[in-house]
A = this chain, B = another copy of it.
């Protein structure tokens, strides 16, 4: 009988934010896949390894999942990744695929999951804490209260329209070339906070658009507006 595939969210950076279930499933899996050519370079692997040290004695395999906008290229990469993973399921292994943050939110694993389900494999999504929740906690503030809306925007350019939405808006990946985005943010006059590398080494917090560096890390999360009704 083929083994089961688990997409596992390992949370945003702090190894203590893994769930009990993520820890158990990682322990039970015979093989663990992580995004990245070399598994040692994988951020998700480095987080999980600290929470589940016995993972260092497991078979861990790096899977190349390029972040390209070219759909054909991306589909080919996912088929190739599936080709690395599925033979292990056929051999009866339970397999885990680690993902930064939560596995239902912008996770590379979701593509593999669909391919697995389409090919008749049993596959399960194991939740983790999303990075935007951790960033708010790091800032000591809530994201939303009461009737406030929460809008998660994965691309910095989306903030231009997003600025007119009611409630709290989160930009997931500020990244490089933030000049234009910073201008929009400054013009808006809205409350801005950013957390770079939340829960990881080199974590930094910014409290205004002006402070945001032009070459922010890929792991930067921007929170725009509301955040607490009487918050200063």
**A17 B151 Cβ-Cβ under 8 A:** no
Instruction: Output the least CB separation between A20 and chain B (Å).
Output: 5
A42-80, CB under 8 A of B: which get 1 and which 0? 000000000100000000000000000000000000000
Cα–Cα, bound, A140→B104 (Å): 9
**B155 A144 Cβ-Cβ under 8 A:** no
Residue in contact with A228 in the complex, picked from B16, B114, B129, B141, CB distance below 8 Å:
B114
Which residue of the partner chain B has the closest CB to A128? B129
Interface of A, secondary structure class, is: mixed
**B152 A144 Cβ-Cβ under 8 A:** yes
Cα–Cα, bound, A18→B24 (Å): 12
**B17 A20 Cβ-Cβ under 8 A:** yes
**B106 A144 Cβ-Cβ under 8 A:** yes
Q: Flag whether A105 is at the interface (Cβ < 8 A).
A: yes
Query: Contacts of A141 on B, CB cut-off 8 Å?
Result: 104, 125
What bracket does the count of chain A residues touching chain B fall in? Answer: 35 or more
A149-182, CB under 8 A of B: which get 1 and which 0? 1111111001000000100000000000000000
Q: Flag whether A231 is at the interface (Cβ < 8 A).
A: yes
**B145 A155 Cβ-Cβ under 8 A:** no
Residue in contact with A19 in the complex, picked from B16, B111, B143, B144, CB distance below 8 Å:
B16
Instruction: Output the least CB separation between A160 and chain B (Å).
Output: 13
Cα–Cα, bound, A134→B127 (Å): 6
A133-146, CB under 8 A of B: which get 1 and which 0? 11011001111111
Cα–Cα, bound, A51→B21 (Å): 11
Cα–Cα, bound, A60→B31 (Å): 41
**A126 B133 Cβ-Cβ under 8 A:** no
Residue in contact with A17 in the complex, picked from B14, B19, B106, B136, CB distance below 8 Å:
B19
Q: Flag whether A82 is at the interface (Cβ < 8 A).
A: no
Instruction: Output the least CB separation between A61 and chain B (Å).
Output: 22
Query: Contacts of A104 on B, CB cut-off 8 Å?
Result: 133, 136-137, 141-144
Given A20-B20, A125-B136, A149-B154, 9 more A-B residue pairs with CB atoms under 8 Å apart are A11-B127, A14-B21, A18-B20, A104-B137, A125-B137, A125-B141, A127-B134, A144-B152, A152-B152
